[in-house]
Each structure stands twice: as structure tokens, then as C-alpha cells.
Structure 1
Amino acid sequence: MKKFIISLVIAMAGVGVWFTLSSTEAAPNVTFTSLEGKQFQTSDLQGKVVLVKFWATNCVTCIQQMPDTIAYYKQYKDQGYDTIAVAMAYDPEPFVKNYARDNNLPFTVTLDKDGSVAKAFDDIKFTPVAFLLDRQGNIVKRFIGNYDKAIFEKTLQDTLAKA
């Protein structure tokens, strides 16, 4: 009986490891365009833990979350954390530029003018939606709407702790 229990525990651990390893999904390799016109791809972000956050200036929850988004960026950037704020295609470019300037957004803000970035990330239509990517460019977790700050920060810390 003891051998059976040990075998069962080992088998369950193996299934758990297999599920964890096999459930990672690579982030789509898209081209981002910053407010300054600089282009880069998802693959250029590898080596960092990155939050890709879809937002809009007319989204109340997005605006409410922005101080926390800024705080997380400032607190963890020296540990290899970055944030890419993706403004939705329906958000007028002057509004995005004014908001980024007036609020001193310290991270990269991009314009998804044709909606291709949102389409590639599960066809995002409503905001806020954020994807936390690990250093290998895999999606660790998706955060939708007004997500729990404690869960986000714990997931971020756990992801940063991994090589």
C-alpha cells in the first residue's frame, strides 16, 4: 500500500509538471509602434517580464488602474520588468498622446492604429485587458477588467523570480 501511495504521488507530480510546462502559450509576435514612431516586436521583449496592457483614454477602469500600473513599473523595472501600454485603435491619437504626456507615463505607450495587435492577442475589443509575459515571451496570465491587485503583484513577483 505504501508503494502504491508513493507511486501515485510521483505520478500526480509528473502530471502537474507536464500540465504546467505544456500550458504555456507563446505571445503573438506582433509589431508595436510607440508614440514616437519607434517600431519593435514582441520577440524584442524577450529577457524581460512584460505587461502588455490594452487600454483606452475613455475607459474609466483603465484610467483608475493607471497609477498602479505606473507604480508597478517604477517598483520592478530594475528587476527586468517592463510595461507596454497598447492604446486601442478606436482611441484618437491626440487623446493618447495628451494623456501620456500629462500623466508622465514612464513606460512605452503604443498606438494600435489598425487594430492588428489587439486582434493577435485574442481579438481584444474592450479594455482593460493585460497579458503578463515571462522572460521567454510566454503568456503567464491574462488580467481582465478590474483585477485583484494582490494576485497581480504575486504573479508578477513569482514570474520575476524565475530565470
Structure 2
Amino acid sequence: MTSSSKAWVKPAIAAVLLAAAGLAAYSTLNSKNSAPAVTFVGIKGEKITPESLRGKVVMVNFWATSCTTCVAEMPQMVDTYNKYKDKGLEFVAVAMKYDAPNYVVNFTETRQLPFKVALDVTGEAAKAYGDVAMTPTTFVIDKDGKIIKRYVGQPEFPALHKLLEEHLKG
């Protein structure tokens, strides 16, 4: 092999290892099936506890203001929340630890986000949810606190809405 044909080897190995680590975290998360008992801290300092979310279908969306897909999907996330909030949906948008808090607050205010927005300044929430590194990553959690779906990247919104409707019944 020439040195130019070897150039792809290290990045390819790194990608495979990263994918394997992601799958391991995902399967570990799925084998537990319960959402981690994380208390989020909202942008105004309020605590969002697992107990305050119990009995509701919850979407936990890990995002960043620097993530173009996150910013692009946010209007649809707002529409989804507004469509289902009166049926028992709760939504927590968790800004990644590398996201500057003032950027998050500014984004939240200028976009008038109607749901809870939290800061993960230590990275503990992302770690508890299976070492979330890719944004956006969204978890759908049922009324009993079990993770029913994990989306990496923008969800297919009609399928997400169908899933929410199934779990918001009764």
C-alpha cells in the first residue's frame, strides 16, 4: 500500500471504534430501558426532576446552538410540543456542556421556545444517557420512565408523532 492509500486507515478504524462504542452505549441503555434518574437544571436555575416528569410522555433532546441540524429541527420540535403538550407531553431541551449558557439563553428567548430548556454544564446528563456525543439526540420516554425510542439526528416527524400518539393514549 502506498502512503496515500493508507491515509484512510486510521480514520476508518476510529470511525468503527466510535460506532462500536456508540452501539455499546445504546445497547447498555436499552438493556436497562429506564431513563436515567437525572435532575436537569433549567436556564433559570430551576430543577427538573425525574419525579416531576413521571406520569408524562417526555422527550429529552440533547442539542447545541452550534449544531445546524439542531437549529433546523427546532421549529418542528416546537410544533410537536405544542401539538401534544395538552395531551401529556413534556419536553426538555438539554444544551450540551460545550454550549455557552448565554448562547442557549439567547436562542431560547429569541426563538421563544415554549418548553423546558436545561444546561448540562458538567456533561453528567449526556453521560447518564449513554455518553451522548452526537447532536441532536432525542429520547422518547413513556409515562413509566422507560425509554421507548432514541433518535440520533433529526427524527422523521410523522413517525415520531405516531409514536407519541400511541403512548399518550390513556
Q: Give the TM interval when normalised to the shorter protein.
A: 0.7 to 0.9
Residue equivalent to 2:63: 55
- Count of aligned pairs between the two proteins: 141
Task: Tell me by how many angstroms 1:148 deviates.
Answer: 1.3
List aligned pairs for 1:5-154, cutoff 5 A.
25-154=33-162
Which protein shows a greater Rg? 1
- Structure 1 segments, 4+ long, off by >3 Å, are none
Q: In the alignment, residue 95 of structure 1 is paired with which amino acid?
A: Y
Q: Would the aligned equivalents of 1:24 and 1:140 in 2 still touch at CA under 8 Å? A: no
Cα deviation 1:119-152 (Å, max 9, x = unaligned): 0001001200000011111101001102211211
Question: Do the aligned partners of 2:64 and 2:96 also contact (CA within 8 Å) in 1?
Answer: yes
Tell whether the 8 Å contact from 2:63 to 2:136 is kept in structure 1 after alignment: yes
The CA RMSD measured in Å over matched residues stands at 1.4
Deviations 1:69-88 (A, max 9, x none): 00011111110001000000
Mapped partners of 1:147, 1:81: distance in 2: 17
CA drift of 1:24 comes to 7.1
1:48-107 C-alpha deviation (Å, 9 max, x unpaired): 101000000000110111001000111111100010000000000010000000000000
Unaligned 5+ residue runs, structure 2? 1-29
What TM-score do you get using the length of structure 2 for normalisation? 0.80
* Aligned residue number for residue 18 of structure 2: none
Task: Please identify, of 147-156 and 87-96, the stretch whose mean Cα deviation from structure 2 is larger.
Answer: 147-156
- The CA deviation at 1:153 is 1.0
What percent identity do the matched residue pairs reach? 41
The superposition leaves residues 4-35 of structure 1 with CA deviations (integer Å, 9 ceiling, x where unpaired) of: xxxxxxxxxxxxxxxxxx97711000110000
Check the 8 A contact 1:30/1:41 in 2, yes or no: yes
Preserved CA contact (<8 Å) 1:52 1:86: yes
**TM-score normalised over the length of structure 1:** 0.83
